[in-house]
């Protein structure tokens, strides 16, 4: 009798988990929840985003996180009806409306997710390289082919149509953000640094390239969980109060050219995420780490979709708030202060691995640190999903001989701190920039986490 019951139970499970049997196709969609699928469709699309971002001009300081926010939100809204513990955000934000869902139809959730990314990525990465567009098409086809043979024509059509309709609605909503929409096309627009230069210590074009400031209006782009006053971090100490001591600290620990090889220096291995054409940008660091965690944990699709949606909204809001605060306080970079008051010949340790130019500082105000803000925000999300004591070694660049440093860390937050403090050793950010950035990013993340994601 036990064997008979076991056989019956086994058959029942096969029918429930299979996406192609007629018995399953004819069931209401609620019998097949999103959590019954694996994470791989999200993993594959995250890899596509990371690859596209390498060569994406104008995305480094925030627009890449905007891509994460809207694509992650579209995938989430596409499948949330199959995630019984979660809420839809339909009409939660003014103008954000999702089409009416037909609960009488059957859907294959990975195909729905696939349709949202296939539709949205070419639109958000409007300047994508031809090879990137081919990658989008081939990834979508591979995922469709994987499930096409095990579901009915009707389920396939339902899933494609529903995913695309959700993506279209999300795209329409994204276009109503006058500042954020297509910001990448001209990240220098609508900001005059000379008008904002009022007193000593205000930001000015920085050695060695003296470029115009980037992302001057990004702080006014759309956020999803922040009020206007949430975009202002803690006020720094008055100019000069802590600048000298913290700049001396930077000078004392920064490697001096030409006495070190930046390709070999441990603290610089991940510093090159400022440069288009070399790696993906710093805003996507914890998307990469999250993808690695999904694989290690063999996560289900529900967890993967939630991770992407939450990570997207958190890092979007963190980038907007950080840049809002940067240009609100408008504090000069360490190199400007140091060369003026401490050592006229000093240069930061950052170098461009493509052009080989040395002594670079990014062209935007230093306070608070963008890397610290975004790394803290992203790590807070991943710690929530995978646990505060989840041990991981970042393998983002394991195949690149110049960036193959693998750091075993006791937690995701420890990994984030490691990356944040690199900026101090590089001479890019002062201690105050990093400490406040990390606090600020953590605070922002917790505000987004408190949105009504889950049913009470």
pLDDT range class, residue 394, cuts 50, 70, 90:
confident
**Which architecture, in CATH terms, is 187-449?**
Orthogonal Bundle (1.10)
Q: Give the model confidence (pLDDT) of 362-372 as tens digits.
A: 999 999 999 99
Q: What is the pLDDT of residue 398?
A: 75
**Is it the case that residue 206 has pLDDT exceeding 50?**
yes
Structure token digits, residue 110: 């990975």
Q: Are 116 and 74 contacting, i.e. CB atoms less than 8 angstroms apart?
A: yes
| Cα distances (angstroms) measured from residue 198 to each of 203, 204, 331, 417 | 9, 10, 11, 34
Rounded-to-10 torsion of CA 171, 305, 125, 452? 50
Query: Which residue shows structure tokens 């980037």?
Result: 214
Highest mean pLDDT: which of 167-181, 257-271, 355-369?
Answer: 167-181
Residue 348 exposure: Cα atoms within 13 Å on the Cβ side: 30
Closest CA to 133 of 142, 147, 123, 143: 123
Domain ranges within the chain, ordered by starting residue: 19-174, 187-449
> What is the dihedral sign for C-alpha 220, 203, 373, 271?
positive
What is d(CA 189, CA 174) in angstroms, rounded to the nearest whole number? 20
Query: Which residue shows structure tokens 């609100």?
Result: 328
pLDDT range class, residue 39, cuts 50, 70, 90:
very high
Q: Average per-residue pLDDT in the chain?
A: 89
- The CATH number of domain 19-174 is 3.90.1150.10: no
**Is it the case that residue 259 has pLDDT exceeding 70?**
no
The reported pTM is 0.91
Domains 19-174 and 187-449 share a fold: no
Q: What is the pLDDT of residue 451?
A: 98
- More confident position, 401 or 87: 87
């Amino acid at each position: 009798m036990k064997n008979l019951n076991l056989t019956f139970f086994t058959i029942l499970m096969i029918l429930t988990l299979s996406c192609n049997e007629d018995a399953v196709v004819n069931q209401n969609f609620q019998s097949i929840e999103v959590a019954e699928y694996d994470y791989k469709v999200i993993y594959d699309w995250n890899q596509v985003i990371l690859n596209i971002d390498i060569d994406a001009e104008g995305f480094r300081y925030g627009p890449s996180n905007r891509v994460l926010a809207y694509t992650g939100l579209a995938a989430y809204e596409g499948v949330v009806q199959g995630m019984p513990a979660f809420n839809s955000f339909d009409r939660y934000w003014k103008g954000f409306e999702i089409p009416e869902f037909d609960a009488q139809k059957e859907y294959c959730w990975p195909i729905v997710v696939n349709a949202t990314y296939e539709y949205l990525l070419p639109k958000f990465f409007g300047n994508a390289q031809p090879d990137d567009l081919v990658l989008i098409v081939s990834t979508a086809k591979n995922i469709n082919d994987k499930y096409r043979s095990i579901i009915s024509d009707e389920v396939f059509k339902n899933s494609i149509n529903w995913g695309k309709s959700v993506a279209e609605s999300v795209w329409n909503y994204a276009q109503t953000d006058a500042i954020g929409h297509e910001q990448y096309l001209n990240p220098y627009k609508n900001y005059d640094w000379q008008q904002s230069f009022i007193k000593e210590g205000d930001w000015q074009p920085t050695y060695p390239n003296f470029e115009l400031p980037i992302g001057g209006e990004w702080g006014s782009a759309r956020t999803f969980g922040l009020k206007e006053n949430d975009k202002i971090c803690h006020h720094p100490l008055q100019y000069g109060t802590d600048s000298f001591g913290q700049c001396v600290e930077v000078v004392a620990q920064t490697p001096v050219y030409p006495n070190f090889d930046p390709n070999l220096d441990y603290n610089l291995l991940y510093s090159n995420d400022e440069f288009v054409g070399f790696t993906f940008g710093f805003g996507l660091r914890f998307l990469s780490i999250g993808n690695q965690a999904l694989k290690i944990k063999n996560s289900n699709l529900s967890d993967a979709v939630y991770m992407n949606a939450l990570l997207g909204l958190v890092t979007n809001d963190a980038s907007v708030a950080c840049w809002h605060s940067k240009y609100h306080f408008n504090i000069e970079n360490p190199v400007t202060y140091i060369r003026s008051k401490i050592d006229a010949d000093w240069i930061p340790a950052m170098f461009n691995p493509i052009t080989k130019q040395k002594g670079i500082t990014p062209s935007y105000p230093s306070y608070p640190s963008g890397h610290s803000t975004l790394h803290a925000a992203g790590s807070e999300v991943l710690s929530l999903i995978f646990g505060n004591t989840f041990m991981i070694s970042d393998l983002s660049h394991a195949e690149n001989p110049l960036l193959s440093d693998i750091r075993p860390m006791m937690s995701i937050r420890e990994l984030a701190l490691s990356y944040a403090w690199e900026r101090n050793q590089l001479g890019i950010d002062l201690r105050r920039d990093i400490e406040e950035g990390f606090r600020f990013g953590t605070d922002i993340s917790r505000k987004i986490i408190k949105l009504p994601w889950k049913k009470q």
